[in-house]
Amino acid sequence: MTRSITNGSSVGIDAIAVHVPRLYMDLCGEWANVRASELGEATVEGLVGKVRKGVGVEQMAIPDAHEDSATLAAMAAVKVIEQAGIDPRDVGSIAVGTETTVDQSKSIAAYVLGMLERRFNVELREAGAPQFQFACIGATYALEAAVNSFRAGEATKPYALVIATDISKYPLRTSGEYTQGAGAVAMLVSKNPRLVALDARVLATITRDERDFFRPNGLSTAVVDGKYSIDVYLDCIAEAARLYVRRAREALELENAGIDDIVDDFLFHIPFPRMAEYAALRVLGEAWRADDSRRAALAATTPLVADPESGGANRRAFEKQLAQDPAFARFFKDRIGPSLSLSRRIGNIYSGSMYLGLASLLEHAEDRAKLRGRRVGFFSYGSGASARVFSGVFVDPESYTPHVRALLAPADEGGGRIPLELAQYERLHGGPAAGDVPLSLVQPAASTVRPRNEFALVRIGTESSPSRTDVGYRYYDWVAG
Ligand code: HMG
């Protein structure tokens, strides 16, 4: 059984919970029928094939008018606290990673703190509540800060709460549209964690000043150079993976070990599931090309492995060939595949995507108990651009409470998921009708489905007087079912 690399004490993820909106858009029905011609596809089947197989998604979670990054975060936080069975007063800090914030100044974590206080009828005023922003990698930086506070002996309470929350939105009728999604992942960080003990001294970071994807102030949809964003992701992840391997070899005293000797299960940032395949081909392709015995084993089925240009001009061709190799296909199915299942039905949730992959692995592993003692690699990426590779070892995977698959089940199978019609989805995508008023001051539109047993954005403040000013302030309440 593998042991985690520690700096004296074991710190990591004690529990994890996911929340996604109950509304979703199916990408294989009405949406595809209408969009095929709008997106210039020759046939509806062509678009469905591209979205399902080429990109890897089937459905996207869509927030209702009363949901935003703060309500999603608070819902995930309630779930993780309840599932872990802890007293919320044992949480010493709440950190949120998001790139779709609800206010230009106030931290979403402070809003979440208030919602938790009201929900659990407790006082959390001694907790820190910062927000971390760096595209999809913000939550990873938040996680590192929480972990380091325990490692440094600065944590005053047994748990820190780290929440990744986002709503991914691109303009309609663009190729970004089918890579949207929404959701939040909440994690409890602690000493002697029940779920994953994170390795110390192996974290590898690469950061470059890039224009691959961004969202200028005032825009609700992201600006993206799609193909370029893929290239930047792959370059940064591959470089961070090389650095990680150097550090892990040293920490584990495993000279010459490859990434797949060190890491058992791979969690990539998942803007869409195919991206994890591109990343695996890049990271493993590099490792396998550099290893004599692997190269020999691949020679018959992936002849380009011997091409001196397979890391340069012929890299794409080599990776396409490797994708068809039975050894790679088996590796991908066993050691990466289970982490992608939830994303197919939820879409990109930006900062939470890789952590949704962790929940997916826990829910879709053939035998969850067998994850115990396996090293899990985290390949985190945020546009703009930063990649971080780190790892941990599963402690007691059975401490995880499966809940996401059930959440995604249709209502007649006991789940609560509700499909949207195209017109409903497009109305929600448009957001509140702005007119001359800045969007952040517009009252939330009528919900598509009335909120029940959830936090909801109930109104936006309108007062501006000497005694009270709350113009644009967001009010959240628990709405019982
Ligand atoms: P696209 O126009 O759909 O791309 O845009 P495509 O035409 O290259 O097609 C994609 C794949 O579908 C190709 O596969 C096609 O062959 C295949 P490949 O050749 O690569 O193996 N295909 C088909 N397969 C089966 N049946 C068919 C069929 N037709 C075509 N009928 C793109 C895709 C991802 C560029 C677009 O959706 C986009 O711009 N999305 C948003 C940007 C994005 O997600 N970038 C990812 C990297 S950056 C990142 O991850 C950070 C991010 O999460 C933000 C953050 O950090 O905050 C985005």
| Dist. CA 432–CA 274, nearest whole Å | 33
Q: Which of 41, 48, 53, 55 to mutate to test ligand 1, by most ligand atoms within 8 A of the CB atom? A: 55
Residues 51/25, Cβ–Cβ less than 8 Å = no
CA-closest candidate to residue 428, choices 58, 62, 31, 34 = 62
pLDDT per residue over 218-244, tens digit each?
Answer: 899 999 999 999 999 999 999 999 999
Q: In this model, does residue 1 exceed pLDDT 80?
A: no
The chain-wide mean pLDDT, for the chain, equals: 96
Residue having the nearest C-alpha atom to atom 13 of ligand 1: 54
Q: What is the pLDDT of residue 247?
A: 97
Q: Which of 206, 213, 231, 321 to mutate to test ligand 1, by most ligand atoms within 8 A of the CB atom? A: 213
pLDDT per residue over 313-323, tens digit each?
Answer: 999 999 999 99
Q: Which residue's structure tokens are 């190729």?
A: 175
CA-closest candidate to residue 345, choices 261, 444, 417 = 417
- For 6-418, which CATH class? alpha beta
Q: How confident is the model at residue 7 (pLDDT cuts 50, 70, 90)?
A: confident
pLDDT per residue over 403-462, tens digit each?
Answer: 999 999 987 788 889 999 999 999 999 876 656 667 778 899 999 999 999 999 999 999
Strand 131-132 to 91-97 pairing: parallel
| Dist. CA 125–CA 351, nearest whole Å | 26
Angle, alpha carbons 458-463-467 (nearest 5°): 125
> Tokens representing 185?
């992942």
CA-closest candidate to residue 385, choices 83, 17, 84, 138 = 138
DSSP H or E stretch at residue 188: strand 181-191
pLDDT per residue over 205-222, tens digit each?
Answer: 999 999 999 999 989 999
Q: How confident is the model at residue 261 (pLDDT cuts 50, 70, 90)?
A: very high
Residue having the nearest C-alpha atom to atom 53 of ligand 1: 271
Does 383 sit in the ligand 1 pocket, CB within 6 Å? yes
DSSP letter for 51, please: I
Q: What is the pLDDT of residue 62?
A: 98
Q: Which of 52, 172, 179 to mutate to test ligand 1, by most ligand atoms within 8 A of the CB atom? A: 179
The dihedral region occupied by 431, where left means phi > 0, alpha psi between -120 and 50, and beta the remainder, is: left
Residue having the nearest C-alpha atom to atom 1 of ligand 1: 175
User: For residue 55, how far is its CA from the centre of ligand 1 (angstroms)?
Assistant: 5
Q: What is the pLDDT of residue 138?
A: 98
Residues 395/13, Cβ–Cβ less than 8 Å = no
The full set of domain ranges for the chain reads 6-418
Q: What is the pLDDT of residue 4?
A: 86
Residue having the nearest C-alpha atom to atom 11 of ligand 1: 54
Q: What is the mean pLDDT of residues 67-93?
A: 98
Q: What is the pLDDT of residue 435?
A: 61
Does 456 sit in the ligand 1 pocket, CB within 6 Å? no
**More confident: 415 or 268:** 268
Q: What is the mean pLDDT of residues 53-62?
A: 98
What is the secondary structure of 352-369 as a DSSP string? GHHHHHHHHHHHHSS-GG
Q: What is the pLDDT of residue 434?
A: 58
Give the other-Cβ count within 10 Å of 78's Cβ. Answer: 22
Q: Which value, to the nearest 10 degrees, does the dihedral of the CA atoms of residues 280, 281, 286, 289 take?
A: 130
Identity of residue 1: M
Q: What are phi and psi of 146, to 5 degrees?
A: -65, -45
User: For residue 476, how far is its CA from the centre of ligand 1 (angstroms)?
Assistant: 36
Strand 23-26 to 418-419 pairing: parallel
Q: What is the pLDDT of residue 283?
A: 98
Residue having the nearest C-alpha atom to atom 50 of ligand 1: 271
Let me know how many helices (H) and strands (E) the chain has, helices first: 15, 17
| Dist. CA 124–CA 94, nearest whole Å | 10
CB-based contacts of 340, cutoff 8 Å, min separation 6: 56, 270, 273, 276, 357, 360
Q: What is the pLDDT of residue 9?
A: 85
